[in-house]
């Protein structure tokens, strides 16, 4: 028995399509840590899947020191889902992995501007007509104001990413501004496939998930029956659209529980049009919030609709 192996809790099959030598990575600071695990920034050299073959910044996903077998299984599944889904500009793409002789490292694209919710809050125009506080005026000069066209373009890009995921039979199940990351040049990238499940895997998308449920983004059929499909992702996209148009406000601020939310929705109530939101964008939100999932637009139709709205926006 190799003594160095004694410290490896798990053994993974080698996938030479994706394996990267650990020596090509130089780990840096922790970007975030949560129930899911840990994300660490790293410098990488000569990665096969990056544009320039020089050093680049990447994000490395790993489990925490105090992880369970289920945490590890979920990271492995996330990696396998990313391998199967393939590349798209509007998702966080897999770059490679380190699975041998040490801890599992899943290497993904790094998004320099963090999550979309915080990004929107940082870029709030002064005196936006919402109950939330405007951003501070500090550093305003290097933060150009976001235009309505910018906001519609964010929504368009996310819809493109979701259209792609849906075409790959992937249900996100936790689509929200906190799970979209912002890259350079305002490129939106859908992140966190931890909850992504294959549509054919019925026991997965009907499964009762333990822990915190993102109830305010959930479609009625997910709240009631734990049923998820691409059309329940469309409902969440409507809430995300609302988050974009309010520069990151909290949806349904007075609703406290899943039961309360469900009775609000089943009686036909919906969030009002945000102050700085055009009618055509609000109509799209409302279509995404049709109680009947079959009446909601598909991501393909949302992409078409947003494309038209973008053409009109100055
Ligand atoms: O808003 P954030 O800085 O963006 O806080 C979260 C945190 O790690 C936990 O998920 C950040 N994060 C996750 N993945 C990436 C990534 N690929 N690029 C940049 N930041 C990331 C995320």
Query: What's the chain's Rg over C-alpha atoms?
Result: 20
State in Å, rounded, how far the first CA of the chain is from the last one: 67
Residue 193 alpha carbon to ligand 1 centre in Å: 13
Does 234 score more than 50 pLDDT? yes
Residue with tokens 């790959």: 168
Long-range residue pairs from 48-51, CB within 8 A, at least 24 positions apart, any chain: 48/20, 48/96, 49/93, 49/94, 49/95, 49/96, 50/95
By CB atoms closer than 10 A (0-12, 13-18, 19+), residue 275 is exposed
Nearest CA to ligand 1 atom 4: 114
The residues that bridge with 170 in the sheet, in sequence order, are: 198
* Distance in angstroms (rounded) separating the CA atoms of residues 231 and 228: 8
Q: How far is CA 282 from CA 131, 166, 221, 244, 265, in A?
A: 19, 23, 22, 12, 17
Does 210 score more than 50 pLDDT? no
DSSP per-residue string spanning 73-115: HHHHHHHHHHHHH---TTB--EEEEE-SSSS-EEEEE--TT-B
8 Å CB contact between 276 and 128 = yes
Q: Give the 3-state secondary structure of residue 11.
A: coil
The catalytic site residues sit at 174
119 ligand 1 Cβ < 6 A: no
pLDDT in tens, 12-26: 999 999 999 999 999
Give the chain's length. Answer: 314
Residue 30 alpha carbon to ligand 1 centre in Å: 9
Average pLDDT, the chain: 87
Residue 39 alpha carbon to ligand 1 centre in Å: 7
Residue with tokens 């990665």: 47
Least confident of 46-50, 218-222, 259-263, 299-303: 46-50
Residues 182-188 have a mean pLDDT of 97
* Distance in angstroms (rounded) separating the CA atoms of residues 244 and 62: 30
Q: How far is CA 24 from CA 84, 168, 169, 250, in A?
A: 24, 31, 33, 41
Q: Give the 3-state secondary structure of residue 244.
A: helix
Residues 67-76 have a mean pLDDT of 91
The fraction of the chain above a pLDDT of 90, given in percent, is 75
The reported pTM is 0.89
Assign 286 a pLDDT band (cuts: 50, 70, 90). Answer: very high
Assign 34 a pLDDT band (cuts: 50, 70, 90). Answer: confident
Residues 155-176 have a mean pLDDT of 95
The answer for residues whose C-beta is within 8 angstroms of residue 95's C-beta and 6 or more apart is 20, 44, 47, 49, 50, 58, 107, 108, 109
Q: Which numbered atom of ligand 1 lies nearest the CA of 34?
A: 9
What pLDDT does residue 194 have? 53
Residue 230 alpha carbon to ligand 1 centre in Å: 24
288 ligand 1 Cβ < 6 A: no
b (16+ CB within 10 A) / e for 182-192:
bbeeeebbbbb
Nearest CA to ligand 1 atom 19: 111
Assign 113 a pLDDT band (cuts: 50, 70, 90). Answer: very high
């Amino acid at each position: 028995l190799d003594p160095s192996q004694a410290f490896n809790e798990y053994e993974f099959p080698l996938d030479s399509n994706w394996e990267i030598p650990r020596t090509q990575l130089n780990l840096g600071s922790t970007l975030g840590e949560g129930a899911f695990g840990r994300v660490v920034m790293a410098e990488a050299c000569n990665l096969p899947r990056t544009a320039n073959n020089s050093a680049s910044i990447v994000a490395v996903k790993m489990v925490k020191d105090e992880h369970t077998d289920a945490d590890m299984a979920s990271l492995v599944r996330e990696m396998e889902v990313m391998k199967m889904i393939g590349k798209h500009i509007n998702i966080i793409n897999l770059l490679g992995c380190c699975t041998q002789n040490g801890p599992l490292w899943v290497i993904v694209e790094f998004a320099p501007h963090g999550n979309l919710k915080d990004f929107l809050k940082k870029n709030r125009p002064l005196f936006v007509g919402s109950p939330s506080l405007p951003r501070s005026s500090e550093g305003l000069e290097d933060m150009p104001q976001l235009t309505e066209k910018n906001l519609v373009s964010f929504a368009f890009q996310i819809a493109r990413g979701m259209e792609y995921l849906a075409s790959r039979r992937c249900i996100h199940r936790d689509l929200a501004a906190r799970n979209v990351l912002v890259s350079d040049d305002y490129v939106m990238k859908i992140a966190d496939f931890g909850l992504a499940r294959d549509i054919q895997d019925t026991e997965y998308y009907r499964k009762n998930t333990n822990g915190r449920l993102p109830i305010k983004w959930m479609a009625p059929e997910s709240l009631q029956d734990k049923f998820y499909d691409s059309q329940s992702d469309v409902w969440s996209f409507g809430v995300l659209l609302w988050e974009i148009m309010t520069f990151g406000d909290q949806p349904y601020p007075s609703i406290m529980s899943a039961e309360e939310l469900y009775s609000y929705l089943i009686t036909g109530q919906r969030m009002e049009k945000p102050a700085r939101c055009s009618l055509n964008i609000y109509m799209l939100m409302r279509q995404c919030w049709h109680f009947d999932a079959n009446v909601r637009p598909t991501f393909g139709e949302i992409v078409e609709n947003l494309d038209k709205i973008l053409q009109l926006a100055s």
